[in-house]
Amino acid sequence: MNETNPVNKDATASSLKMLQAMVGIGIFCALMIVLAFEGTMPRIEQNKAEALEKAIFKVIPGMETKKTFKLGPDNSFVPVDGKSKADQLVYAGYDQNGKLVGVAVEASGLGFADVLRVLYGYDPETQKIIGFYVLESKETPGLGDKIEKDPGFQSNFSGLDVSLTEDQSALKNQPVTVKHGAKENPWEIDGITGATISSRAVGNIMGTSTEFWVPLIHKNKETFMVSKTEQ
């Protein structure tokens, strides 16, 4: 930015001095960063874990402990310790007796403004969605963000029907959002007036995601049940 500055006395500084300065500053900065990183990391990890825990707890009411699974290549689930980002993960939640209360699944899709990321809990026992939480959304505050805040809308997800067909390969009815006040069937989501687009987007995300995951989880119900809990 300042090429135009007149060269002044220290312009004659030797390359050695420049190198010294850069290396010196570099080392100092590196030290500082590493220190800060090491110092804060445990706390940050804990914060993140808590946040995830909190979210999973929101979608699987009654959960005490959880265990992370990843979808293997042969459509079966294997327990993991939950580090790798690339894997498709689900979280099984258990009550204090170690009984499976639900499986939390992450899903995403396009909302009104940008990508919506949500987490929902599925109970293989009752074949219902038992909880819903918005992880990330840029929907309009006061309008589209009612999908996270509106209790009426949230209540759609305590017992949304996702039961399977006889042969257990597909959903009987995909969840779908309908106009506010027009909900008639247990698999329908009652929309929000003034935020039709966001609530429809949630419906779409839920529909697509459950269509994929619910038959899989249901099939592997046993895997989740027999698993010993984490921690």
Partner 1 sequence: MLNRTLNISTSPHIVKGISTDSIMQNVVWALLPVALFAVYTFGMSALLVLVTSTAACVLTEHFMCKYSKKKSTISDWSAVITGLLLGLTLPPNFPLWMAFSGGVIAIALGKFIFGGLGYNVFNPALVGRAVLQAAFPVAITTWYPAFLPDRFFSVSVSTFTVPFMEPAIDAMTGATPLAAFKFDHVTTSTSDLALGLISGSTGETCALLILLGGLYLIARNMMNWRIPVAVLGSVYVLSGILYLINPQVYPSPLFMLFSGGLMLGAVFMATDMVASPITPLGVVVYGVIIGLLVVVIRIWGGLPEGVMYAILLANAISPHIDNLIRPRVYGTTKSLKRS
Partner 2 sequence: MKSESLWYIFINASLINNFVLAYFLGICPFLGVSGKMETATKMGGAVTFVMIISSMCAYGIHSLLIAVNAPFLQLISYIVVIASTVQLVEMFIKKMSPALFRALGIFLPLITTNCAILGLALFQTNKGYGFVESFVYALGAGTGFTFALILMAGLREQLDFAEVPNVVKGTALTLLIAGILSLSFMGFAGLGS
Partner 3 sequence: MGNQTKDNKGFLASLKDSPSTDDFIKGLWRENPVFVQVLGMCPTLAVSNTAINAFAMGLATTFVLLMSNMLVSSLRNFIPKQVRIASYILIIASFVTVTDYVIQAISIDLHKSLGAFISLIVVNCVILGRAEAFASKNTVGRSFMDGLGMGLGFTFGLFCLGAVRELLGNGTIFGFPFFPSNFQEWIVMILPAGGFFTLAIWLLVFNALKEKRAKA
Ligand X SMILES: Cc1cc2nc3c(=O)[nH]c(=O)nc-3n(C[C@H](O)[C@H](O)[C@H](O)COP(=O)(O)O)c2cc1C
Site for partner 3 in 20-39 (CB under 8 A): 21-22, 24-26, 29-30, 32-33, 36-37, 39
Closer by beta carbon to partner 3, 43 or else 228 = 43
Return the CA Rg of the chain. 25
**How many CB atoms within 10 Å of residue 113?**
14
Per CB under 8 A, 4 contacts partner 3: yes
Closer by beta carbon to partner 2, 114 or else 125 = 114
Angle at 139 between CA 133 and CA 145, to 5 degrees: 50
Between 134 and 153, how does the x/- string for binding to ligand X read (CB under 6 A)? Answer: -----xx--xx---------
Per CB under 8 A, 7 contacts partner 3: yes
Per CB under 8 A, 193 contacts partner 1: yes
Residues forming beta bridges with residue 79, ordered by sequence position: 69
Q: Nearest-CA neighbor of 196 among 134, 143, 158? A: 143
The number of residues in the chain equals 231
The answer to whether 174 touches 146, Cβ cutoff 8 Å, is no
Closer by beta carbon to partner 2, 23 or else 115 = 115
Instruction: Tell me the C-alpha distance between 129 and 104, whole Å.
Output: 10
Per CB under 8 A, 112 contacts partner 1: yes
Instruction: Tell me the C-alpha distance between 186 and 164, whole Å.
Output: 13
**Considering the complex, what minimum distance in angstroms separates the CB of residue 195 from ligand X?**
4
Considering only 65, 108, 127, 140, the residue that binds partner 3 (CB under 8 A) is: 140
12: which 2 tokens? 């004659």
Per CB under 8 A, 40 contacts partner 3: yes
Instruction: Tell me the C-alpha distance between 42 and 114, whole Å.
Output: 32
**Considering the complex, what minimum distance in angstroms separates the CB of residue 149 from partner 3?**
12
The answer to whether 147 touches 199, Cβ cutoff 8 Å, is yes
Per CB under 6 A, 203 contacts ligand X: no
37: which 2 tokens? 């990183």
166: which 2 tokens? 């006889």
**Considering the complex, what minimum distance in angstroms separates the CB of residue 169 from partner 2?**
20
Q: Give the binding site for partner 3 (CB under 8 A).
A: 1-2, 4-8, 10-11, 13, 17-18, 21-22, 24-26, 29-30, 32-33, 36-37, 39-41, 43-44, 47-48, 50-51, 140-143
Q: Give the binding site for ligand X (CB under 6 A).
A: 112, 139-140, 143-144, 193-198
